[in-house]
Amino acid sequence: MHEIVTGALVREGRVLLVHRSPNRRAYPDVWDLPGGHIEPGETELAALTREMHEELGVQIATGSAIHLCRLDAGGGEDSIRLSAWLVGEWEGTPTNVAPDEHDEIGWFRPEELPPLAHKLVGPAVVQAMRGVCA
Protein backbone atom coordinates (compact mmCIF):
# COMPACT_ATOMS: atom_id res chain seq x y z
CA MET A 1 0.00 0.00 0.00
CA HIS A 2 1.25 3.45 -0.96
CA GLU A 3 0.73 6.11 1.71
CA ILE A 4 0.04 9.59 0.33
CA VAL A 5 -0.39 12.94 2.07
CA THR A 6 -1.94 16.03 0.49
CA GLY A 7 -2.44 19.60 1.66
CA ALA A 8 -5.16 22.14 1.00
CA LEU A 9 -3.50 25.54 1.34
CA VAL A 10 -6.31 27.99 2.07
CA ARG A 11 -6.14 31.77 1.98
CA GLU A 12 -8.84 34.43 1.57
CA GLY A 13 -11.53 31.84 0.97
CA ARG A 14 -9.65 30.06 -1.81
CA VAL A 15 -7.76 26.76 -1.96
CA LEU A 16 -4.63 26.11 -4.01
CA LEU A 17 -4.83 23.20 -6.43
CA VAL A 18 -2.27 21.72 -8.81
CA HIS A 19 -3.08 20.34 -12.25
CA ARG A 20 -1.37 16.99 -12.69
CA SER A 21 0.59 16.74 -15.93
CA PRO A 22 -1.00 14.65 -18.69
CA ASN A 23 2.06 12.35 -18.75
CA ARG A 24 1.69 11.28 -15.09
CA ARG A 25 1.12 7.54 -14.64
CA ALA A 26 -1.38 7.95 -11.80
CA TYR A 27 -4.29 10.39 -12.15
CA PRO A 28 -3.03 12.27 -15.23
CA ASP A 29 -4.57 15.54 -16.43
CA VAL A 30 -6.72 16.28 -13.36
CA TRP A 31 -6.76 18.94 -10.64
CA ASP A 32 -5.69 17.79 -7.20
CA LEU A 33 -4.27 18.90 -3.90
CA PRO A 34 -0.47 19.08 -3.83
CA GLY A 35 1.30 16.30 -1.98
CA GLY A 36 3.01 12.98 -2.40
CA HIS A 37 4.29 9.76 -0.89
CA ILE A 38 5.09 9.40 2.79
CA GLU A 39 8.62 8.07 3.11
CA PRO A 40 9.46 5.20 5.51
CA GLY A 41 9.72 6.47 9.10
CA GLU A 42 8.12 9.82 8.21
CA THR A 43 5.02 11.14 9.98
CA GLU A 44 2.15 12.54 7.93
CA LEU A 45 2.95 16.11 9.01
CA ALA A 46 6.67 15.68 8.24
CA ALA A 47 5.79 14.35 4.78
CA LEU A 48 3.29 17.17 4.26
CA THR A 49 5.92 19.75 5.21
CA ARG A 50 8.48 18.20 2.85
CA GLU A 51 6.02 17.84 -0.06
CA MET A 52 4.72 21.42 0.21
CA HIS A 53 8.31 22.67 0.07
CA GLU A 54 9.30 20.38 -2.83
CA GLU A 55 6.20 21.13 -4.93
CA LEU A 56 5.30 24.71 -4.01
CA GLY A 57 8.42 26.18 -2.38
CA VAL A 58 6.61 27.05 0.86
CA GLN A 59 7.25 26.23 4.49
CA ILE A 60 3.98 25.32 6.19
CA ALA A 61 3.19 26.08 9.82
CA THR A 62 2.37 22.55 11.03
CA GLY A 63 0.42 23.99 13.97
CA SER A 64 -2.09 25.40 11.46
CA ALA A 65 -2.69 22.00 9.81
CA ILE A 66 -6.10 20.42 10.43
CA HIS A 67 -6.72 16.82 9.40
CA LEU A 68 -9.55 16.62 6.84
CA CYS A 69 -9.97 12.98 5.88
CA ARG A 70 -8.28 9.67 5.25
CA LEU A 71 -9.35 7.26 2.55
CA ASP A 72 -8.25 4.00 0.96
CA ALA A 73 -8.46 3.51 -2.80
CA GLY A 74 -7.50 0.86 -5.31
CA GLY A 75 -6.42 -2.67 -4.61
CA GLY A 76 -3.36 -4.88 -4.49
CA GLU A 77 0.03 -3.33 -5.16
CA ASP A 78 -1.56 -0.15 -6.51
CA SER A 79 -3.70 0.53 -3.43
CA ILE A 80 -3.24 3.84 -1.65
CA ARG A 81 -4.07 5.35 1.70
CA LEU A 82 -4.54 9.08 1.24
CA SER A 83 -4.56 11.57 4.10
CA ALA A 84 -5.66 15.15 3.37
CA TRP A 85 -4.88 18.18 5.54
CA LEU A 86 -6.08 21.79 5.56
CA VAL A 87 -3.24 24.31 5.98
CA GLY A 88 -3.95 27.92 6.86
CA GLU A 89 -0.48 29.32 7.47
CA TRP A 90 2.80 29.11 5.58
CA GLU A 91 5.85 31.17 4.63
CA GLY A 92 6.67 31.97 1.03
CA THR A 93 4.63 32.41 -2.11
CA PRO A 94 3.33 29.16 -3.60
CA THR A 95 4.83 28.59 -7.03
CA ASN A 96 5.05 25.53 -9.25
CA VAL A 97 8.54 24.30 -8.41
CA ALA A 98 7.71 20.80 -9.72
CA PRO A 99 6.78 21.44 -13.37
CA ASP A 100 7.49 17.80 -14.24
CA GLU A 101 4.61 16.81 -11.92
CA HIS A 102 2.18 19.72 -12.48
CA ASP A 103 1.61 21.87 -15.52
CA GLU A 104 -0.44 24.51 -13.69
CA ILE A 105 -1.45 25.72 -10.23
CA GLY A 106 -4.49 27.82 -9.35
CA TRP A 107 -6.59 29.26 -6.54
CA PHE A 108 -10.26 28.22 -6.35
CA ARG A 109 -13.26 29.28 -4.27
CA PRO A 110 -15.39 26.37 -2.95
CA GLU A 111 -18.06 26.90 -5.61
CA GLU A 112 -15.40 26.88 -8.36
CA LEU A 113 -13.68 23.66 -7.26
CA PRO A 114 -13.14 21.34 -10.23
CA PRO A 115 -13.48 17.56 -9.79
CA LEU A 116 -10.43 16.28 -7.92
CA ALA A 117 -8.51 13.06 -8.50
CA HIS A 118 -10.11 11.54 -5.37
CA LYS A 119 -13.82 12.36 -5.36
CA LEU A 120 -14.25 12.19 -1.56
CA VAL A 121 -11.55 14.79 -0.88
CA GLY A 122 -13.36 17.66 -2.63
CA PRO A 123 -16.40 17.69 -0.32
CA ALA A 124 -14.13 17.49 2.76
CA VAL A 125 -12.15 20.49 1.52
CA VAL A 126 -15.30 22.52 0.79
CA GLN A 127 -16.83 21.70 4.18
CA ALA A 128 -13.62 22.61 6.00
CA MET A 129 -13.22 25.84 4.03
CA ARG A 130 -16.75 26.89 4.88
CA GLY A 131 -16.08 26.23 8.56
CA VAL A 132 -12.68 27.92 8.66
CA CYS A 133 -13.48 30.79 6.30
CA ALA A 134 -17.03 31.52 7.50
From the list 46, 51, 30, 28, the residue with the least C-alpha distance to 121 is 30
What CATH code is assigned to 2-132? 3.90.79.10
The pLDDT tens digits of the residues spanning 65-80 come to 999 888 887 777 778 8
Task: Give percent of the chain with pLDDT exceeding 90.
Answer: 58
Cα gap 20→60, rounded to integer Å: 21
What is the value of pTM for the model shown? 0.87
The pLDDT tens digits of the residues spanning 113-126 come to 898 877 778 778 87
Cα gap 3→6, rounded to integer Å: 10
